Structure 1
Amino acid sequence: MSATKSNPRQSWSVSASITSKRTSNPIRAIVDHIKVKPNANKSMISLALGDPTLFGNFKIHQSCTDAVIKEVTSYKSNGYPPSTGYPHARQAVAEKFTLPEAPLTAQDVILTSGCSGALDMCIGVLCNEGDNILLPRPGFSLYQTCADSKGIEVRYYDLLPENNWEMDLKQLESLIDERTATVVMNNPSNPCGSVFRKQHLLDFLAVCERNHLPVIADEIYCDLVFSGNEFYSLASLTKTVPVLSVGGLAKKYLVPGWRLGWIFIHDRNDIFAAEVRDGLNSLSQLILGPNSVIQGALRDILHNTDESFYDETRAQLEANAKLSTDILSKVPGLKVIVPQGAMYVMIGININEFKDIPNDIVFTEKLLGEESVMCLPGSVFQCPNFIRIVFTSPPEVLQDAYNRMTEFCARHHV
């Protein structure tokens, strides 16, 4: 009879993983600690959530809805798709977004669960634990969340409000060392609403080429650009710097909940070679690909939507941006950085002009408590003494919110 094996586990001891402990959302880390309640005598207005569907005034085109209904009733897309996406869906995306200066084939496209899934895969394939990654400040908080969860050191490069939030390229270059794996560039920007000039992008690419630094280009807002500005795909401006660009349906088509994003692999000189492509393929297998029904409808959505839908969406956003700028730029104590695209405006708070507001977090707390208007403090984007406003609400809602903000600032102004 064999001896009984001793059991070293004499009691329950179950801990959360290191990955889970180092995963956090900077927005939640600050907003969840705001204990102030909205003013019960005033209706709540949230200008904080970057979801264009929130108020019902932005809707996807009926033809896109019809395409999804047709796909659902065909019963052809109810199974597991390939983890990188159906070949016909990848082909549809490649045909839509290929450019002579930045050609795409279906093999250069990976479909993902939303643009956030694309970002997580790109960071995961280029960075090892202990590497560092360059992120914009201010910038989308999920970049940090993805990096922190993987044990990647975050280094922030500054965007300059006095230059319409262009990158401080000298400071950016000073952050690069032998463990810098990649840089994230966001254009048009969340939270800034900025759109980079062509020459600025060329200057940025020159830094990347000098330092042999691949780029993750977050271009989810590429089609939401206002009059007088022009969007340039980063990959269309270089033949030498390898770029992973990400995008998706969420913003242009006003359907963030459909969870369909993509990665474009732009690699003219095989710097990524097979290894990065294989790595992306492996990472795609973690969740076995994005929504199959939306993939099935993707060709119709991308290629058969009436152009007027895009024009009307941009016009509505631009009108809301102008309304926001016109009103808030006249409020003492606030400084508006005029948005050039996307659906956001960053507003500076001149702290020394307020008698009892020492920083952006107190500003947002007091605004919520007194006026029931919610916006995000700039600190969640690593940019203190700014606030971010989402201007996708109906004009009458924005007008009401801005009137309350005007009264609030008047009460607290010195």
Structure 2
Amino acid sequence: MRPLKKAHKLDNVCYDIRGPIMQKAYEMEAEGQRIIKLNIGNVAAFDFEVPEEMEHDLIANLPKAAGYTDSKGIFSARKAIMHYTQRKNIKGVTLEDIIIGNGVSELIGFAMHALLNDGDEVLVPMPDYPLWTASTTLAGGTAVHYLCDEEKGWAPSIEDIRAKVTPKTKAIVVINPNNPTGALYSNETLLQIIEVAREFGLVVMADEIYDRVVYDGHEHTAIASLADDVFFISMNGLSKNYRACGYRAGWMVLSGAKEAAQDYIEGLVMLASMRLCANAPAQHTIQTALGGYQSIDDLVAPNGRLARQRDLAYELICAIPGVTCVKPKAAMYLFPKLDPKIYPIQNDQDFVLEFLETEKVLLVQGTGFNWHAHDHLRFVFLSHEEQLREAIGRFARFLQMYRERAAAHVK
């Protein structure tokens, strides 16, 4: 049989969070080596538990969850999501404006495939969550990356956004709270993004999966709550706020200028219908999740586990010579910078691979998030404090070796 090759549409698609370096980590584990994995926000893997009442609902509803549901999702779940949008001050959302999917990842694909023709462009943040870039590419579009400015707390550069709008631009992606930087955008920034979308007729696609993972008394503003004359697709789910990544339950909410988007909405509904329905058992937990006790608030409180781990990881990272980091206001990640004068890294993937092989710690390189330079890494701070100390201690040791090697090379 002749060799089978992957389709050319995958040539420029990457998802390095689960990429070749992670495969190397699997090989090392198969050899009996113990790896500290700080590469992915798989919350359950770090002993964060799904709220007990959600588990009870999942079990109680299993007997009646074997059949297909409505392609948009079950009534009780969509009703709860509708009420949640009201609490977030998003106006005019009805049950018909809500589509439940197998996680936000599936819905990102829907959003792109229903919108894009070959050659259309989507403005995506840099750094980004790489699934947005990959899904844009798979749908035949081109991801055009706009700069998020580290010097301004990783806020999007409105000037760069405006400079990159072309007649082919169809949408702008806003990841807030942000993965991988942990940034939380101000209302002023969100309003400026809306103004660009309004001026150029762009769809605003808002990834708000971390909207309750917010620290230090800050509050998240849903971008769709700030206007009703722009078309918004707001995405959220159970994975992060409710520590239920494996349930694969996410949703998109359509709001704003819906009349102008009716043909596009028909495409979204068509794609939802083609996959028949989302995970039925998990849908039965959504109402309880959104309406029940919000245990995430305890975790992000000043003495909560997530807040403590963020503070510890930030302190330890910033104590390493030549390493700086914007303290995250939200989410579960640090995105530190390695001073290129001290760490002349030519290829950050090779750097992360060497760190894995030397110190048995798995990270993701900054270019894996479509960052333009080889000077950033993403740390997940979900591990218990003792393991965080160990992992960052190994990182400090590795960087000391790297500095000494670089200095010797210069001599």
- Whether these two folds match at TM > 0.5 is yes
1:81-160 matched pairs, under 5 angstroms? 81-99=69-87, 100-160=89-149
Asked whether the 8 Å contact 1:246–1:263 carries over to 2, the reply is yes
Asked whether the 8 Å contact 2:325–2:335 carries over to 1, the reply is yes
> 2: distance between equivalents of 1:41 and 1:292?
38
> Secondary structure of 1:78's match?
coil
> Secondary structure of 2:324's match?
strand
Asked whether the 8 Å contact 1:30–1:380 carries over to 2, the reply is no
Asked whether the 8 Å contact 1:349–1:360 carries over to 2, the reply is no
* Aligned counterpart for 1:397 among listed residues 387, 390, 398: 387
Percentage identity across paired residues of the two chains: 25
Change (3 A) 1:49 1:12: closer
1:50 aligned to 2:36? no
> Secondary structure of 2:378's match?
strand
> Secondary structure of 1:151's match?
coil
Which 5+ residue runs of structure 1 have no aligned equivalent? 1-10
Change (3 A) 1:302 1:228: closer
Change (3 A) 1:17 1:81: same
> 1: distance between equivalents of 2:256 and 2:115?
14
Residue in 1 that maps onto 2:57: 67
* Aligned counterpart for 1:306 among listed residues 281, 286, 293: 293
Asked whether the 8 Å contact 2:208–2:236 carries over to 1, the reply is yes
1:281 aligned to 2:269? yes
> 2: distance between equivalents of 1:33 and 1:382?
20
Residue in 2 that maps onto 1:190: 179
> Secondary structure of 1:331's match?
coil
Change (3 A) 1:297 1:370: closer
Asked whether the 8 Å contact 2:17–2:40 carries over to 1, the reply is no
> Secondary structure of 1:184's match?
strand
Which 5+ residue runs of structure 2 have no aligned equivalent? none
Residue in 2 that maps onto 1:370: 358
Residue in 2 that maps onto 1:207: 196
> How large is the Cα RMSD of the aligned pairs?
2.5
Asked whether the 8 Å contact 1:115–1:262 carries over to 2, the reply is yes
Residue 230 of structure 1: CA displacement?
A: 2.0
Asked whether the 8 Å contact 1:351–1:359 carries over to 2, the reply is no
1:412 aligned to 2:402? yes
Residue 91 of structure 1: CA displacement?
A: 1.4
> 1: distance between equivalents of 2:152 and 2:396?
26
> 2: distance between equivalents of 1:116 and 1:187?
16
1:168 aligned partner, one-letter code: S
Residue 293 of structure 1: CA displacement?
A: 1.2
Residue in 2 that maps onto 1:348: 337
Deviations along 1:109-151, one digit per CA (max 9) or x if unpaired, are 1111101011111112222222111111100111111111121
> Secondary structure of 2:274's match?
coil
2:270 aligned partner, one-letter code: S
> 2: distance between equivalents of 1:35 and 1:256?
21
> 1: distance between equivalents of 2:400 and 2:275?
51
Change (3 A) 1:103 1:313: farther
Asked whether the 8 Å contact 1:192–1:339 carries over to 2, the reply is yes
* Aligned counterpart for 1:162 among listed residues 134, 151, 158: 151
Residue 372 of structure 1: CA displacement?
A: 0.9
More helix by share: 2
* Aligned counterpart for 2:167 among listed residues 165, 168, 178: 178
1:381 aligned partner, one-letter code: F
> Secondary structure of 1:263's match?
strand
> 1: distance between equivalents of 2:5 and 2:378?
37
2:73 aligned partner, one-letter code: G
Most deviating of 211-220 and 120-129: 120-129
Change (3 A) 1:177 1:300: same
Residue 214 of structure 1: CA displacement?
A: 1.4
Change (3 A) 1:312 1:152: same
Residue 55 of structure 1: CA displacement?
A: 2.5
Larger Rg, first or second structure (1 or 2): 1
Change (3 A) 1:35 1:259: closer
Asked whether the 8 Å contact 2:116–2:140 carries over to 1, the reply is no
